[in-house]
Structure 1
């Protein structure tokens, strides 16, 4: 049997082909253009500038994959870009601004971490790290020496820093969860938004049948362990699956267009492997 990462990518490519029969994918599961990878009602012009300011030239590279996590986030949240007040996320609403590929400097030299989405209210920031199939491959935690040597402010005394130091001794402590990336995001958020209410939300894809492979249960267990180790930290950590997010949207009295948008998301991404 193929590994779950390959099976997931194939299922997502098949769903893309089914929902966009006139838009071909290449042999690696990539669309021809960024626009071709977007759902009905999602407009690239609403957020193109955000992506062009980010690192990695996403719109001409990874974004084109049917299993792209950045395209996934854009497809999910793109319609809210021009109407952020209609978004509800982990029980929070009243957003005034949404930004994709938001750079949050850590105060160290080098590239700043890019958050897939940053949603802001008058009194809170929710930063999203979006995952599609990436966690179905193994990860090893790596940190430049500067993280230990140059972070000398309040971040040094918190659980995020302690978890980094633990992972430097046990870099394979998580198999599926990219904990190093989350820790770097947390350092960037703490440096960029000091003294504010900030949440780092880990938002991840799951298939319609997660019981089909034990990797999904292992991933869940790692999320829970990580959440416990970083509890009481700044920023606050939370996690949610995309299917659970869509269910919450269907259960609310939202705008008229939202149910159709959720149906499009489910047709494209809620696949079995």
Structure 2
């Protein structure tokens, strides 16, 4: 029987394996179970991440993430925390390509859509300051699995304000009738986040940033290019709407920070991020 080579395995499987191996190189004395999880979520943290920078936020969010998904070496919530938590106490050092001058950073921020009986979507990170708000949806390997758009009828029935005239609402109606238009992009989740951001921050400039991981060699799987094509289509369909939709990869964000003459601590932090997540498939 022919043995399957690593290169023949599904892209997501290879990504999880590569991320697990990178984790073990950073934490040789820590064990991962066969699914890539550690016993204690604290073991997943990068050196400059402190519990006080994020634990209270995640403990108050939905899903008990610290004791479940966060323990995975391939956790997207863990990636968001490892990336942004050190800025909690150094907020003046945080700049994003679309905004700067932030004075608040929160994880797992609830932004209610206003639907009766519905659960408020949790955004992985919300940055805010005098210049506006950036809500971040973080992805690590989720976009390497197929998605199908699903919406409760309550969205069309209960949204009766200005959001109804936006591109996100029109795209929701299109996907309700044709739910398989996107494969790798979870467009339904982004639309729900957009509804929540628009209602939570109605009088401020708001950006919905889709921040996704790619390996050092994105050509290793066709999903990465297809995912970017779907992002471009979604961006075009919601253009001119509020919140403004932006998308970039984590490596692109890290290059942006690297080019901004970062503080010494951030140089070290970027090195840690690259060592953990800058893997090759």
Q: Give the TM-score, by structure 2 length.
A: 0.96
Cα distance in structure 1, aligned partners of 2:162 and 2:84: 33
Match among 252, 262, 267 for residue 270 of structure 2: 262
Segments of structure 2 that go 5 or more residues without pairing to the other structure are 1-7
- 1:103 corresponds in structure 2 to 110
1:91–1:144 CA distance, 2 compared to 1 (3 A) = closer
Give the secondary-structure state (helix, strand or coil) at the position aligned to 2:82: helix
CA-atom RMSD in angstroms: 0.7
Q: Would you say how many aligned residue pairs link Structure 1 and Structure 2?
A: 273
Asked if residue 87 in structure 1 is aligned to residue 94 in structure 2, the reply is yes
CA deviation vs aligned residue, 1:232-273 (integer Å, no higher than 9, x gap): 001000001000111111111222111110010000001011
Matches within 5 A, 1:9-20: 9-20=16-27
- 2:149 corresponds in structure 1 to 141
Cα distance in structure 1, aligned partners of 2:227 and 2:120: 26
- 2:83 corresponds in structure 1 to 76
How far apart are 1:92 and its partner, in Å?
2.1
CA deviation vs aligned residue, 1:119-142 (integer Å, no higher than 9, x gap): 011130000000000010000000
- 1:3 corresponds in structure 2 to 10
Larger deviation, residues 150-159 vs 40-49: 40-49
Cα distance in structure 1, aligned partners of 2:264 and 2:229: 36
Contact map agreement 2:123 2:137 (CA 8 A) in 1: yes
Give the secondary-structure state (helix, strand or coil) at the position aligned to 1:117: strand
Query: Where has structure 1 moved over 2 Å in runs of 4 or more?
Result: none
Cα distance in structure 1, aligned partners of 2:118 and 2:89: 32
Matches within 5 A, 1:49-60: 49-60=56-67
Q: Give the TM-score, by structure 1 length.
A: 0.99
CA deviation vs aligned residue, 1:12-62 (integer Å, no higher than 9, x gap): 000000111111111110011111000111112221110011100000000
- 1:175 corresponds in structure 2 to 183
Contact map agreement 1:86 1:93 (CA 8 A) in 2: no
How far apart are 1:89 and its partner, in Å?
1.1
Cα distance in structure 1, aligned partners of 2:201 and 2:188: 20
Cα distance in structure 2, aligned partners of 1:230 and 1:61: 33
Cα distance in structure 2, aligned partners of 1:42 and 1:240: 23
Cα distance in structure 1, aligned partners of 2:160 and 2:77: 32
- 1:122 corresponds in structure 2 to 130
Contact map agreement 2:217 2:280 (CA 8 A) in 1: yes
- 2:215 corresponds in structure 1 to 207
How far apart are 1:91 and its partner, in Å?
4.3
Contact map agreement 1:116 1:128 (CA 8 A) in 2: yes
Match among 147, 154, 163 for residue 162 of structure 2: 154
Give the secondary-structure state (helix, strand or coil) at the position aligned to 1:199: strand
